[in-house]
Amino acid sequence: MKILALATLLFFNVMALCADNILQDAINRAPQGSILKLPAGVYKGSVIIDKPLSIIGEGEGVIIDGENNGTVIKVLSSFVTLKNLKIINSGNQHETIDAAITMSNASQCEISNCIIDDCLFGIDLQMVHNSIIANNYISSKDVDLGLRGDGLRLWYSNDNIIKGNSLVKSRDMVVWYSHGNEIIENYGKNNRYSLHFMYAGKNLIKNNRYELNSVGIFFMYSQDSIAIGNIVKSSQGATGMGIGLKDVSNFTIKDNTVLYCAQGIYIDRSPFEPDTHNWIENNKILYNSEAMHFHSLSENNVIKNNIVAGNIEDIVNDSRGSKTNENEIALNYWDNYEGFDRDHDGIGDTPHKVYQYADQLWMYDSDVKFFYGSPVISLLNFLAKLAPFTKPLFLMEDDKPRVSKIF
């Protein structure tokens, strides 16, 4: 493999110094497998890479400026490495997915240690496999949330490692029709969906941290994935969501921490496939408005060994047919448990049962929900528990509630 400094490439033809796009000229002249080491400077103009090639910035201050026109770097080949670059000023057209980097029909590629700023979309992967996207900082245009582009997109892209990236003030990170990816130790802040899956399977989502987004992690129409060790904090807005499951099957949600969200864990028609389960275990669901929110038919979830504490509501059922009581719920710690442990085995002597009382009023009437959390609704709930004036709705039972947060 040849290692060519940019200055050496330009030496072969002095006229290249007058070219409109010096970097594209260097790429065109480089043999396959070359490594272009760029010295500090601003390289203006978008480029296309259509052969195996590495572009590596030497130190800080290597800037590729797309001049607000289209995508800055288009990669149309396997075995391409982009490293230590600052990429700025993509175009602003959503219909053409103007991005810092678009990579398509490729494998064995790497994008690492890059800073992406003032680009509508960040990194757009289309049918990219067995590649590494690591330690990049990605931010979108300075526009309203809904007008930003996605920070990182995987579309029909399998078996990639997405690790240590920071997405700040972009729109979403999306994983669509993409399988077998490892999404590890990433950070997201001030986005919409910090991580959104659709029609994706066998992905590992581990040790990521997301805060101050509209939604933390949302899974749709997917199966056979594991989310473990993630922290989702302060999802914003009246419906801010920590972890959402919609029409998903064979998921493991384990050892995650979800706190300060409107809805901690949202479950909608999951598991979806017959004779399947989802396992929601060993999570800390803390200080949310609603710890677990069930929507539509949701049964056969296994909910065990979780800590549920400091939430306004432990269980919310917003549709009468969701069958929350037909999930396997056991061995969780509930700070609202009102029983005793007289034999000191760590398990409550009586089951922990959750009913809906006066909160049925706001659950099914959006006008009444305006008063949710008010002293009036709290008083009605208290009175309803003393002397129910409507039949309370049974939601769930944990027949072996833990009485200690320490397992």
pLDDT band at 389 (very low <50, low <70, confident <90, very high): low
405, part of any domain = no
Q: What is the pLDDT of residues 252-270, one digit of tens each?
A: 999 999 999 999 999 999 9
33, part of any domain = no
For residues 294-300, average pLDDT: 87
Residue 95: CB atoms within 10 Å:
5
pLDDT at 298 over 60: yes
24, part of any domain = no
281, part of any domain = yes
Q: Tell me the C-alpha distance between 27 and 77, whole Å.
A: 13
- What is the residue whose two structure tokens read 């949600």? 253
* 298: containing domain: 70-78+98-108+121-129+143-398
1, part of any domain = no
220, part of any domain = yes
Pick the closest to residue 225 from 243, 241, 256, 249 (CA basis). 249
pLDDT at 48 over 60: yes
pLDDT at 126 over 80: yes
204, part of any domain = yes
Position 355 scores a pLDDT of 82
Position 264 scores a pLDDT of 97
Position 130 scores a pLDDT of 98
pLDDT band at 370 (very low <50, low <70, confident <90, very high): low
Q: What is the largest CA-CA distance in the chain?
A: 91
pLDDT at 110 over 60: yes
Are 267 and 292 spatial neighbours (Cβ–Cβ below 8 Å)?
yes
For residues 2-16, average pLDDT: 43
Beta bridge partners of residue 292, listed in sequence order: 265, 315
Position 373 scores a pLDDT of 62
- What is the residue whose two structure tokens read 């809906």? 356
Looking at 32-36, 72-76, 295-299, which range is the least confident one? 295-299
- Percentage of residues in the chain with pLDDT exceeding 90? 77
Position 388 scores a pLDDT of 61
Q: What is the pLDDT of residues 324-349, one digit of tens each?
A: 888 999 999 999 999 999 999 999 99
Give per-residue burial for 338-370: e unless 16+ CB within 10 Å, then b: eeebeeeeebbeeebbbbbbbbbbbbeeeebbe
Q: What is the pLDDT of residues 184-199, one digit of tens each?
A: 999 999 999 999 999 9
pLDDT band at 390 (very low <50, low <70, confident <90, very high): low
Position 385 scores a pLDDT of 61
Q: What is the pLDDT of residues 165-180, one digit of tens each?
A: 999 999 999 999 999 9
Q: What is the pLDDT of residues 49-87, one digit of tens each?
A: 999 999 999 989 999 999 999 999 999 999 999 999 999
Position 7 scores a pLDDT of 42
First to last CA, the chain: 55
Task: Work out whether strand 352-356 and strand 393-398 pair parallel, antiparallel, or are unpaired.
Answer: antiparallel
Query: Which DSSP state fits 272?
Result: -
Task: Tell me what the pLDDT averaged over the chain comes to.
Answer: 89
For residues 274-292, average pLDDT: 96
Q: Tell me the C-alpha distance between 227 and 207, whole Å.
A: 9
Looking at 40-49, 90-99, 133-142, 382-391, which range is the least confident one? 382-391
- DSSP assignment of 52-68, as one string? SEEEEE-SS-EEEE-TT
Pick the closest to residue 138 from 159, 105, 164, 110 (CA basis). 164
234, part of any domain = yes
Position 13 scores a pLDDT of 41
Residues 60, 64, 69: CA angle, nearest 5 degrees: 155
pLDDT at 285 over 50: yes
What is this structure's pTM? 0.88
Count the domains in the chain: 1
More confident residue, 12 or 50: 50
